[in-house]
Amino acid sequence: MAADISTGLIALASGAAIGLSAIAAAMAEKEIGVAAVGAMAEKEELFGKGLILTVIPETIVIFGLVVAILILNLAK
């Protein structure tokens, strides 16, 4: 069974959706993490806020996963 080019393009698009969103989240998390560590070095009571702000960019990856799933479901 040979796959046509549309199957490959759909797989490429869904992979790009999750991959690029993961890269964007990693870049955002890096910057937030650096700022959070700097703030916690000065005031230790900011640990909770720094932890929450570091986790927030992970929602971008979840949105990318949802978009990838929607792309794959449109292919059917």
Residues 17-66: tens digit of each pLDDT: 999 999 999 999 999 999 999 999 999 999 999 999 999 999 999 999 99
User: Can you give the pLDDT at residue 26?
Assistant: 95
**Cβ–Cβ under 8 Å, residues 47 and 40:** yes
Whether the predicted model's global pTM rises above the 0.85 cut: no
User: Can you give the pLDDT at residue 12?
Assistant: 94
Q: Which residues of 18-37 are buried (b: 16+ CB within 10 A; e: fewer)?
A: beebeeebeeebeebeeebe
Residue whose token pair is 């986790």: 55
